[in-house]
Amino acid sequence: MDENMNRGVTVQQAAAGPSRQVAAGPSRQAIDMADLAEVEDARLRQKTGKSYSQGQLVLRRFRNHQAAMVSAVFLVLIFILAFSSIGWAGIPGWWDKSYLTSSSVVDGGAPTLSLVPQWLGGEGIRWGEHPFGQDNTGKDYFALVMRGTQQSLIIALVVGLVSTVIGATIGAIAGYFRGWVDSLLMRLTDLIIVIPLLVLAAVLGRMTASLNAGIIPLALVLGLVTWTSLARLVRGEVLSLREKEFVAAAVAMGAHPARVIGRHLLPNTVGVIVVNATFAIASAILLETSLSFLGFGVRAPESSLGLLISEYQNAFTTRPWLFWWPGMLILAIALSVNFLGDGLRDAFDPRQGARTARRRRRFGTFGISGREKALDAATAGTTATATDGPAESPRDDETPFTGPADPLGPGR
């Protein structure tokens, strides 16, 4: 406790010192001392008198990322809505209509959802019989869209899991053993990369469609083709980590390679893995909807957001609701997942985004948290030049694409 206090004070002194030099650009020492994560951690320690583990610090930074938190809440809400409304795997939900049963078309299938209250001249806030309207055959569109959302979310979870497990394993093994194992695994990765993602996914998606086993095979298959970028990233990390002393120590003590990888190497790459998994999920959701749109993914009578858009793209002028709902939901889910990934990236490596420090500074200008001004002045030097850094840097070892969107991917 005492020691922590002392350390906090030292950091503050050191940080306050160079703040005078900021105008002329921070000195080397200032950059070292004002390394954002460290200053922030020290400040936290000083304020609360407690020590935090790395995980707690990351979690704290993540919670401070507004866009990511809003996205997370939003995603959870969508998740609850989709699964509680029409139920899943035989468990009934609170919505009484099924996405499989047709009924007579009421009022041209117009939606009964109304959000404008009566005193504003609207029809009052009500849910109605068919909130999102009905499709051609009188199926309830709300149930269809909710089913499609479920599919997208399942895809997200399964792809995230499968591609992360495969990518992390292959990357770690290649990076740890090097030599011919590395060459072999990396050539395997190249082999999958050289086939355009959409093409490979479409061929595999068409194969699973004939199985008629629902969404899970498609999700597994999408996971099988999206692990490549993670494998390359993890390999790069492991290649540099395995030269560190703690790995040498573990090996010297006779640890089995599986233990070194699982216990010492992979936990240290968890930042890369989590961030990349999030972006992989976002692109997998878009990939599934694109495949279903092209007719290589989910097929009727099952429902998918991409499939719904593909079926009703020509109904836009006459029945726009058939078109708006699925599209907005895809956009909302993908956007939230992307923001979540951005927040995670900032949380795991604060030097890349430096959003927390930025926000602090802004509040400081409004006089909200004036007492941290000395530290802010010190961090301002590095914040102003902080970078969006390696995770977005185009060239990482041999990996050309590491950002959220893959130019060769499902984007077009």
Partner 1 sequence: MLTFILRRFGSSFLVLLGASVLLYVLTINSGDPLADLRESNAENREYLMQQRSDFMNLGMPWYQRYWTWLTGVGKCFIGQCDLGTNRQGQQVVDLLGLAAASTLRLVLLSTVLAMVFGIIIGILTAIRQYSGMDYAVTFLTFLFFSLPVFWAAVLLKEYLAIGFNDWIADPGFTWPAAIVMGLLLGLVLQAVLAGSAKRRLFTFLGAFVFTVLAIPYLDWLNFARYPQLGPLVIALVGAAVAVGATVLGAGLRNRRVLYAGLVTAALGVVSYYATYTLLWDPNWLILLVLAAVLVVVAVAVGRLMGGYSKGAATIVSLTTAVIMGLLIITEHVFRSWPGYLQIVGRPIATIGSQTPNFSGTFWEDFLDKGTQLMLPTILLALVSVATYSRYTRASMLEVSQQDYIRTARAKGLGERQVILKHAFRNSLIPITTIMAFDFAALIGGAVITEQVFGWKGMGDLFRVGLMNVDPAPVMAFFLVTGTAAVLFNLLADILYAILDPRIRV
Binding stretches for partner 1 (CB under 8 A): 25, 187, 190-192, 194-196, 198-200, 202-204, 206-207, 210, 282, 286, 289-290, 293-296, 306, 309-310, 313, 316-317, 323, 326-327, 330-331, 334-335, 337-339, 342, 358, 384-389, 392-395, 400-401, 403-405, 407-408, 410-412
126 vs 299 by CB, closer to partner 1: 299
How far apart are the C-alpha atoms of 361 and 379, rounded to whole Å?
9
Find the shortest distance in angstroms from Cβ 320 to partner 1. Answer: 9
How far apart are the C-alpha atoms of 212 and 210, rounded to whole Å?
5
Question: CA of 211: how far to CAs of 116, 282, 292, 354, 362, in Å?
Answer: 45, 25, 15, 48, 56
Find the shortest distance in angstroms from Cβ 264 to partner 1. Answer: 29
How far apart are the C-alpha atoms of 156 and 337, rounded to whole Å?
9
269 vs 292 by CB, closer to partner 1: 292
Find the shortest distance in angstroms from Cβ 361 to partner 1. Answer: 9
Find the shortest distance in angstroms from Cβ 205 to partner 1. Answer: 9
215 vs 266 by CB, closer to partner 1: 215
Q: CA angle, 74 as apex, 408 and 142 as ends, to 5°?
A: 85
* CB proximity list for 227: less than 8 A, separation 6 or greater: 162, 163, 164, 166, 167, 170, 280
Place of tokens 């093409």: 199
196 vs 370 by CB, closer to partner 1: 196
Find the shortest distance in angstroms from Cβ 375 to partner 1. Answer: 18
- End-to-end Cα distance, the chain: 56
Find the shortest distance in angstroms from Cβ 200 to partner 1. Answer: 7
Find the shortest distance in angstroms from Cβ 402 to partner 1. Answer: 10
Dihedral angle of Cα 305, 307, 312, 313, to the nearest 10 degrees:
90
104 vs 210 by CB, closer to partner 1: 210
How far apart are the C-alpha atoms of 42 and 182, rounded to whole Å?
40
Query: 27 — alpha (psi -120 to 50), left (phi > 0) or beta?
Result: beta
193 vs 265 by CB, closer to partner 1: 193
101 vs 318 by CB, closer to partner 1: 318
Query: Which residue type does 296 have?
Result: F
- 350: DSSP letter: H
